[in-house]
Amino acid sequence: MNRTHRVSGNELMLLQNGLVFFPQLCADINAAQHSVYLETYIFAADETGHLVAEALRHAAERGVTVRVLLDGFGSAELPVPFLEGLRKFGVEVQWFRREISPFTMSRSRMRRLRRMHRKMAVIDGEVAFVGGINILNDIPAKLDFDAPRLDYAVRVQGELAGEVHAAMQRLWEMVSWAAFRKRIREKGWRKYRIKPRRDSNVQLLLRDNVRHRRDIERAYLTAIAGAKREVIVANAYFLPGRLFMRTLVHTAQRGVRVVLLLQGKVEYRLQHYATLAMYGRLLAAGVEIYEYHASFLHAKVAVVDGEWATVGSFNIDPFSLLLAREANLVVNDKAFAGALRSSLRTAIDRDGKRVEFERANFFTRILARMSYGLIRFIIGVLGIAKRH
């Protein structure tokens, strides 16, 4: 799993779960000489959070510029003393849209629902991490799980790390301006103005609410529509739009094996039951659906024909499709895609339970349809707000 893959001049290492990811992240932060940028949706003040915070503090103590961008909703429960402990040692911390109210749907409040869901880090502009792993304990606290969340990240060393650096620096400066702070240019730093190389076999794709609203979605749709043998998608919160759903169904109907690994543990009931409402059409088209039961599934990855792969923060749900800032790597490489496919097949064979829709009772079907209808209504409200 920790094998390095050479792709388009970059060294890629696929990291499964926090048990592997966090030691590698902290080791690279401890080796930083100039700068560390970190973006995360959730930063928890648990054992893992303290481990990463300690590495960040030590880097700042050495004179390294350390900047942490937290989402104001996902990390809202982070204690003030924890943040003060970071800032005391020189770690710069900013919030992406701190305030949010669930009681009003005004235009300004709708904008605040646009979250920063990316999970990225870059060290010295030379080593980067892109994936779906938040900064929190791998095994959920107070739950009777023996296995960690199933999740992935990619460590990148090479030219693409500079592109990640540029993207993170740009968002940091945008948030700084939004907070009416003076833009700071670091003396002596290399300025990254790298344009995405669309002809490369490894690409960083970002989703925002301006120019890149559908970049990640289009990459998925293009790969799935062009599949010849097999599509494997593992996604934590699966509630695709009509186009995505139609593409999966048509791909399965033309004889391609389409496999979905979805959440088996009920984490968010509304979304869970809404997803169940889609099972019938998918199963009727020949799509194989497996639910992951060893722990929570948090992965947002896919492999097509054992050659195309993506790893990142992008869920196939309305939150990621319509609102959130996301980041995914797309890799066209047999060895890398093969490593991810092997990991997913192991998870499916060992901990996946194949779904038979006929087993659902009448009450579950009614609840599923009601949940799906409610979420479609919410999506409609979001759409009206965006148009206005």
**Domain extents in the chain:** 4-178, 207-387
Chosen CATH of 207-387 out of 3.30.870.10, 3.40.47.10, 3.55.10.10, 3.40.50.720? 3.30.870.10
Examine the pLDDT at 354 and tell me if it is beyond 90. yes
Among 10, 2, 208, smallest CA distance to 116 is for 208
Q: Give the β-pairing of 202-207 and 65-71.
A: unpaired
In the predicted structure, residue 102 carries a pLDDT above the cut 60? no
Are the folds of 4-178 and 207-387 the same?
A: yes
Q: Calculate what percentage of the chain has a pLDDT beyond 90.
A: 68
> By C-alpha distance, which of 36, 333, 298 is closest to 161?
36
How far apart CA 76 and CA 38 sit, in angstroms, is 17
Residues 6+ apart with CB under 8 A from 346: none
On whether the CB atoms of residues 311 and 301 are closer than 8 A, the answer is yes
In angstroms, the CA 115 to CA 374 distance is: 21
* Cα separation, 248 vs 181, whole angstroms: 46
Q: pLDDT at residue 178 above 80?
A: no
Structure tokens at 235: 């996604």
Task: Quote the mean pLDDT of the chain.
Answer: 87
Beta-carbon contacts of residue 388 (< 8 Å; ≥ 6 apart): 107
pLDDT at 192: 47
**For residue 212, is pLDDT > 80?**
yes
Runs of H (alpha helix) within 215-361: 215-225, 242-253, 269-276, 279-284, 318, 334-351
Q: Is the pLDDT confidence value at 97 over 50? A: yes
Residue 185 has pLDDT above 50, yes or no: no
For the stretch 62-73, pLDDT in tens is: 999 999 999 999
Cβ atoms of 256 and 228 within 8 Å: the answer is: yes
Cα angle 324, 328, 294; round to 5: 90
CA distance 358 to 340: 31
Tokens of 95: 């919030």
Output the pLDDT for position 343.
98
Sequence-distant (≥ 6) Cβ neighbours of residue 188 within 8 angstroms: none
Using CA atoms of 82, 87, 92, 96 in order, give the dihedral in degrees to the nearest 10.
40
Please calculate the CA angle 375-376-381 and round it to the nearest 5 degrees: 95
Query: What are the beta bridge partners of residue 233?
Result: 260, 302
CATH topology of domain 4-178: Endonuclease; Chain A (3.30.870)
- The kind and range of the H/E element at 29 are helix 18-30
Q: Are 197 and 203 in contact (CB under 8 A)?
A: yes
Average pLDDT estimate for 80-104: 84
Percent of the chain with pLDDT over 70: 79
Q: Calculate the alpha carbon distances from 58 to 27, 49, 129, 189 in Å.
A: 12, 14, 19, 20
> Pick the residue with more confidence: 111 or 134?
134
Mean pLDDT of 258-272: 81
More confident residue, 37 or 277: 37
In sequence order, which residues have a C-beta less than 8 Å from that of residue 143 and are 6 or more positions away? none
Active site residues: 117, 119, 124, 298, 300, 305
Distance (Å, whole) CA 336 – CA 171: 29
Q: Which of 146, 140, 122 is nearest to 69 (CA)?
A: 122
In the three-class reduction of DSSP (H, G, I as helix; E, B as strand; rest coil), residue 305 is classed as coil
pLDDT band at 83; cut points 50, 70, 90: very high
